[in-house]
Chains A and B, each alone.
Chain A
Amino acid sequence: MSAIYLGEFEQLVLLAVLRLGEKAYGVPIRAEIENRAGRKVTVGALYATLDRLESKGLVHSWFADATAQRGGRSKRYFKLLPAGVEALSGSRAVFERMWEGLHV
């Protein structure tokens, strides 16, 4: 299978999902990217990217049961699939190879 190319934002999203583990749904994913990467993210852009990553088979999502916490609105949780971990490792390896021997 050929390696899956990941864009910069896709990598950020996948890393945020990986960091959050079982608590990965829209709000904390956005907060994680904003806090760590210092990048403002709109909800629309985040869900579009997550949908794309799911269609590529890199993440899996499911809807949790509705609770009273958000006025009965359910949460959509995300989990990294093995292919997602592999794609992230591949992207990291590419950058490490490109940086090898460089001092800036």
Chain B
Amino acid sequence: MSDPPKLAERLLRRLIGGRDADAVAGDLLETFEARGGGRLWYWGQALSCIAVRFSLYRRSLPGIGTDFSRALRRIRRNPGYALTAMLCLALALGVNTTLFSFLDSLYFPPAAGARGRPDRANRPQIRGLLYLARISRISRWFALRSGGRQGTVR
């Protein structure tokens, strides 16, 4: 009778580790001897143990891994639905960005910092601050338009 494949057992011990791997290797050896060999069988069983150990479905407790794998499975089973949802999201993002840029250029002149010192205004930090200032002014403008009369727009 041939010996069980050493590499398979080494992989099992390395990837599963600890006493769990020892017990699994012992079970595999015992069955291997009882059935009178079968190196291919041993490899199949060892790989199944490793695959199950690293499977996302292994734990019944919910987690990010489970959610992610479930989402992937849904996408694979129903790609048309997934594609439609992705297109809708992409379209909504595009329309939102375009509309925001259009309103921004239509109603709001560049902020003071951007007018006199274009070199300074182009620095990433300054650009970020100016962007925040614009958003704040736009939200105040919408608040006033929708009926609020407190505060003034400068």
* Residue positions of A touching B, CB distance < 8 A: 25-27, 30, 42-45, 47-48, 51-52, 55-56, 63, 66, 69-71, 73-76
Could you say which residues of chain B place their CB within 8 Å of the CB of A52? 58-60
Whether B27 and A42, one on each chain, are in contact in the complex, defined by CB atoms closer than 8 angstroms, is no
B side interface size, CB within 8 A: 26
CB of B5, distance to nearest CB on chain A (Å): 14
Q: Does B28 contact A (CB under 8 A)?
A: yes
A44 near B52 with CB under 8 A, answer yes
Complex contact A42–B60 (CB within 8 A):
no
Determine the distance from Cα of A43 to Cα of B20 in the docked complex, in whole angstroms. 12
| B30/A70 in contact, CB under 8 A | yes
Would you give the 0/1 interface string for B29-67, flagging 1 where the beta carbon is closer than 8 Å to chain A?
Answer: 111001000000000110011111101001111000000
Q: Is B128 an interface residue (CB 8 A)?
A: no
Residues of A within 8 Å of B20, CB to CB, are 47, 76
With a cutoff of 8 Å between Cβ atoms, the chain A residues found around residue B130 in the complex are: none
Nearest CB in chain B to that of A76: its residue: B23
Residues in A with CB closer than 8 Å to B58 are 48, 51-52
Encode B59-102 as 1/0 by CB contact (under 8 A) with A. Answer: 11100000000000000000000000000000000000000000
Count chain B CB atoms within 10 A of each CB in A47, A69, A73, A76 and give the residue with the most. Answer: A73
Residue of B34, B45, B60 contacting most chain A CB atoms (<10 Å) = B60
Residue from the list A43, A56, A69, A71 in contact with B24, Cβ < 8 A: A43
